[in-house]
A and B are shown apart, each in its own frame.
Chain A
Amino acid sequence: MTEHSEVMHQGESHGGAHVHRDDEGSKMAMWLFLFTELLLFGGLFLLYGAYRFEYADGFKVAAADMNSFIGAVNTIILLTSSLSVALSIAAMQRSQKKLALGMLWFTILCGIAFLINKYFEWSHEIHNGIYPGGPALENMSNGEVLYFGLYYVMTGLHGLHVIIGLIFISVIMVFISRDKITSTNFQKLENAGLYWHLVDVIWIFLFPLFYLLH
Chain B
Amino acid sequence: MANGSLANEVSYLEYQGKHKGIMGWLLSVDHKRIGLMYLMGIMIFFFVAMTLGVMMRLEMLTPGETIMKPQTYNSVFTLHGVIMVFLFIIPAIPAVFGNFMLPIQIGAKDVAFPRLNLFSWYLYMVGAILAIVSLFIGDGPADTGWTFYVPYSIRSAQNVSITTMAAFVLGFSSIVTGLNFVVTIHRLRAPGMTWFRMPLFVWGLYATSWIQVLATPVIGITLALIMLERFMGVGVFDPALGGDPILYQHLFWIYSHPAVYIMILPAMGVVSEILPTFSRKDIFGYKQIAISSLGIALIGYLVWGHHMFVSGMSDTSRIVFSLLTFLVAIPTGVKIFNWVATLYKASIKFSAPLYYVLGFIFIFSIGGLTGLVLGALATDIHVTDTYFVVAHFHYVMFGGMGIMFFATMHYWFPKVFGKMYNEKLAIVACTVIIIGFNTLYFPMFIMGYMGMPRRYYDYLPQFQGWHILSTVGSWILVSGIVFMFGNLFYALLKGPKASMNPWGGTTLEWKVPSPPPLENFDEIPIVTGGPYVHDKATYIMYPSKEGINANGGVKTVNQEAAL
With both chains docked as a complex, state the minimum distance between the C-beta of A16 and any C-beta of chain B, in angstroms: 4
The reply to whether B241 and A149 form a contact with Cβ atoms under 8 Å apart is yes
With an 8 A cutoff between CB atoms, is B376 at the interface?
no
Residue A184 at the B interface, CB < 8 A?
no
Instruction: Count CB-based A-B contacts (< 8 Å).
Output: 145
- Most chain B CB inside 10 Å of its own CB: which residue of A9, A13, A35: A13
Contact of B187 among A2, A22, A149 (CB under 8 A): A22
Count the A residues whose beta carbon is within 8 Å of the partner chain — how many? 48
Give the residues in chain B near A25, CB-CB below 8 Å: 112, 183, 186-188
How far is it, in angstroms, between the C-alpha of A143 and the C-alpha of B241 when the chains are bound? 9
Given A8-B1, A13-B519, the answer on whether A32 and B182 have CB atoms closer than 8 Å is yes
> Is B112 within 8 A of A29, CB to CB?
yes
What sequence of 0s and 1s flags, for each residue 214-230 of chain B, a beta carbon within 8 Å of any chain A beta carbon?
A: 11111011100100100
Would you give the shortest CB distance from B255 to chain A, in whole angstroms? 9
- Find chain B residues with CB under 8 A from A4 CB: 187-189, 191
A1-45: which have CB < 8 Å to B? Answer: 1-2, 4-5, 7-9, 11-13, 15-19, 22, 24-25, 28-29, 32-33, 35-37, 39-44
Residue of A nearest to B16 (CB): A16
User: Given A18-B519, A25-B183, A43-B218 in contact, is the A5-B551 Cβ separation under 8 Å?
Assistant: yes
Inter-chain CA distance A40–B168, complex, in Å, is: 12
Summarize B's interface: helix, strand, loop or mixed: helix
Q: How many residues of B contact A (CB 8 A)?
A: 59
Most buried by B among A15, A19, A54, A141: A15
Per-position 1/0 for B1-36, Cβ under 8 A of A: 101100100000001011100001000111000000
The answer to whether the Cβ of A102 comes within 8 Å of any Cβ in the partner chain is no
Interface string of B195-224 (1 = CB under 8 A from A): 000000000000000000111111011100
The one of A17, A39, A42, A149 that contacts B234, using a Cβ cutoff of 8 Å: A149
Assuming the A-B contacts A28-B186, A51-B236, A153-B225, are A39 and B214 also in contact, with contact meaning beta carbons closer than 8 angstroms in the complex?
Answer: yes
A15-B17, A16-B15, A145-B235 given; A5·B191 CB < 8 A: yes
Contact B113 A145 (CB under 8 A): no
* A50 contacts B247, C-beta separation under 8 Å: yes
Nearest Cβ distance between residue A187 and chain B, in whole angstroms?
13
Can you report 16 A-B residue pairs in the complex whose CB atoms are below 8 A from each other?
A: A1-B191, A4-B187, A15-B18, A17-B114, A18-B29, A19-B114, A22-B112, A22-B187, A24-B187, A28-B182, A32-B213, A37-B217, A42-B218, A46-B251, A50-B247, A146-B235
Given A15-B17, A54-B244: 8 more A-B contacts, CB < 8 Å: A1-B554, A4-B187, A7-B187, A16-B17, A25-B188, A43-B225, A43-B251, A153-B225
Interface residues of B (CB under 8 A from A): 1, 3-4, 7, 15, 17-19, 24, 28-30, 109-110, 112-115, 175, 179-180, 182-183, 186-189, 191-192, 213-218, 220-222, 225, 228, 232-236, 241-244, 247, 251, 254, 518-519, 524, 550-551, 554, 558
